[in-house]
Amino acid sequence: MATSYLIGLDYGSESARGVLVDVSTGLQVASHTHAYRHGIMTQTLPGGEQLPRGWALQNATDYVEAAEAILTELGNGRDIEGIGLGFTASSPMPVAANGQPLSELYPADPHAYVKLWKHGAAQKYADDINLRGGSYLENFGGKVSGEWLLAKAVQIAAESPETWNRTARFIESGDWLVWQLSGRECRSLGFAAYKAQYSEEDGYPGDILAGLETRLDVPAPVGTNAGYLTDGWLQKTGILGKAAIAVSVIDSHVVLPAIGAVRKGCLVGALGTSAAYLLLSERYQPLPAGIEGVAFNGSMRDLWCYESGQASFGDTLAWFNKNFPRSTDPGESFDLYNAGAAGLTPGENRLVALDWWNGNRVPLADSRLSGIIMGLSMQTSSIDIYRGLMEALCFGARSIIDLFEAGDIDIERVLMTSGLAQNNRLLIQIMADVIKRPIDVPELENATAVGAAIHGAVAGGVVGSYEEGAVRFGAKSYRHYVPNSRNASTYDTLYGLYREMSQSVRARASMHTLHSLPSADAGSNNADPHIERSVA
């Protein structure tokens, strides 16, 4: 019997990664990563046109280029039964009726490009939506974020009506890529519910923007077969077999089956450049105050998934390491910082920080907020600050867990996943100490991409359920972290200070004032006006 395979695609902010999974053994047999040609565009478009402050765009052609490179590398000459993909969210784009990105037709128009999740210039439109209110906000804490689809659609219509008039479909990039691969537009319930406030009862919000609903589409639950890889793609990549394409899944959600989070009570922290925290439940509870959203069948079949997160996580540490390096080699610099931070006891640095380096997602959904470090003195070292930033990230996680507990949603098991969770043991131990709960970290390489492959397995009928997919293709072992009770008292004190800072209305008002200060003209500063490429 010929060997058959699954492919999982993980589309992140800087690059895409794919894994090849052997259906018979359940093992990963290959992986491939492809960096986006244009990266994250924050200062200029490909043609050199300047971008305003707070913009973060991507080029849709990069996604197709990455898909062709990965699918060819992994699938050429192989029988592929299913392909799944996770995609960073919310990253919508305007396209023509045939799916062609408007950026290909109007390359000098910034509103024609993908608005990446971290695009902060739509926040004021989110604020306007929130002031108007509506029943569709009930499952989203009474507010939408500037990172999400609705605010980005309103921004285009308000700032470039001609672009909006040219937009036949406004679509998440993950859904668009499924369309390109399968030849069929099939949208994801997860993206629609969490990022566009869709509900099965009421559809999309009808009073946000005239004509918006006609540019969207009715979505399908996770695990749905969106179609099969087109003949054109089969020829380009050399893939054999039908290759069922699963509907896309939010990147932080797609990992769930790969790490065994397929049952109620699992709290999963997907720790990437930002962090998402997902809590699965069999029963619906009204959304706890401050938590971002909840949907059914959008992340895992037959379960409610409550979503929350931190707008900045790994990229906070990357920012510090990049700007205050201890070595010319970024990896060595991280190692030196971690080794130094491990030598400090909780509270020894006399610092407490606020983790809003890229704004706040939970509970305030405000991208204009910023970070704080309190306690700096002439005795403070760079290692002290690094340790304080690590602790701040963990305090942010604890504040989210507090909200879940206040909402009476049971937490039976905590799992942390991502390369950061696997490789930075000090960070996860601090996390366990701060939240005062055991943490399991799955020992599985490329867990997010493997999760995508399991979605492909469900869509292709290789497995009958996500539970079966988790057993056959997911993690087999876990590294277990136990909280150190000796650190509890000190971390409770520091966390109390963190809470005081985060709840200060005057501090937040000051952050808004700082954010609104005029910036230097982009053409007259000394910054390199090219494409941002963050330290991984």
> What is the DSSP annotation of 225-246?
EEEE--HHHHHHH--BS--EEE
Amino acid at 100: Q
pTM: predicted TM-score of the whole model, two decimal places: 0.89
Task: Let me know if the fold of 4-252 is the same as that of 260-445+475-517.
Answer: yes
Contact 409, 285 (CB under 8 A): yes
Using DSSP's 3-state secondary structure scheme, residue 348 falls into coil
C-alpha torsion angle, residues 438, 407, 261, 229 (rounded to 10)? -140
> Domain 4-252 belongs to what topology?
Nucleotidyltransferase; domain 5 (3.30.420)
How far apart CA 421 and CA 260 sit, in angstroms, is: 16
Note the pLDDT of residue 472.
98
Tokens 């003209």 -> residue: 521
How far apart CA 270 and CA 319 sit, in angstroms, is: 19
Using DSSP's 3-state secondary structure scheme, residue 3 falls into coil
Q: Please report, in tens digits, the pLDDT of each residue of the chain (536 residues total).
A: 689 999 999 999 999 999 999 999 999 999 999 999 999 999 999 999 999 999 999 999 999 999 999 999 999 999 999 999 999 999 999 999 999 999 999 999 999 999 999 898 999 999 999 999 999 998 888 889 899 999 999 999 999 999 999 999 999 999 999 999 999 999 999 999 999 999 999 999 989 999 999 999 999 999 999 999 999 999 999 999 999 999 999 998 999 999 999 999 999 999 988 899 999 999 998 888 888 889 999 999 999 999 999 999 999 999 999 999 999 999 999 999 999 999 999 999 999 999 999 999 889 878 889 999 999 999 999 999 999 999 999 999 999 999 999 999 999 999 999 889 999 999 999 999 999 999 999 999 999 999 999 999 999 999 999 999 999 999 999 999 999 999 999 999 999 999 999 999 999 999 999 999 987 654 444 444 444 433 33
H or E, element range at 295:
strand 293-296
Tell me the domain boundaries of the chain: 4-252, 260-445+475-517
Angle value at C-alpha 509, between 503 and 515, nearest 5 degrees: 120
Give CATH for domain 260-445+475-517: 3.30.420.40
